[in-house]
Amino acid sequence: MSKLKTEVRTVLGANKQVEESDISKLPYLQAVIKEAFRYHPPGPFVTRCKDGDDIKIKNYVIPKNALILINIWATGRDPSIWPNPDSFEPERFLNTEVDVKGHNFELIPFGTGRRICPGMPLAYRMVHLIVASLIHNFDWKLEPGIAPEDVDLNEKLGLSLHKAIPLKAVPTKP
């Protein structure tokens, strides 16, 4: 969090509000957001309907018009794709072209192709603006008596993913 805070406050200065045009000047923020979508996607699955003929992949036959669930939660934790998949490491996105826009199968929190979430462009911009504003305008700490290693990162499975135990962070003015 300190790297992100340093970047945001250095680029924006003390009295400026975060604007959309600032986001391109904040590469570490962009990496943090991508890593957050990898590590905690909005939902565990994206769906696809298999058009065309039946196909065989290895020993599995996927029939025409089958509904396919793609487990993006598992893809985000696959060690054959991501080194140290259980660690939150935004640096993995600093020197790569991988994005969340559906072109890179290893990171598809909004889906891909014709059925990509239509709200993705707005949601993606808003996440950057909100996170940058929260980091720029507040210092954050855990509730008294909670150490960083005590924060539970487990999730509760459902249509969307929620933390099993909600994180409680305390904002203060810098």
| Dihedral, 43, 44, 46, 49 alpha carbons, nearest 10 | -130
Number of domains forming the structure of the chain: 1
The CA radius of gyration of the chain, in Å to the nearest whole number, is 19
pLDDT above 90 for 51: no
Q: Which of 3, 2, 18, 1 has the alpha carbon at shortest distance from 136?
A: 18
Q: Are 8 and 26 in contact (CB under 8 A)?
A: yes
Structural domain for 88, as ranges: 2-172
CATH number at residue 93: 1.10.630.10
Q: What is the tens place of the pLDDT at every residue in 73-91?
A: 999 999 999 999 999 999 9
Q: What is the tens place of the pLDDT at every residue in 3-35?
A: 999 999 999 998 889 999 999 999 999 999 999
Q: How many CB atoms lie within 10 A of CB 32?
A: 23
Catalogue the E-assigned strands of the chain: 45-49, 55-57, 60-62, 67-71, 139-142, 155-156, 162-163, 169-172
49 carries a ligand binding annotation: no
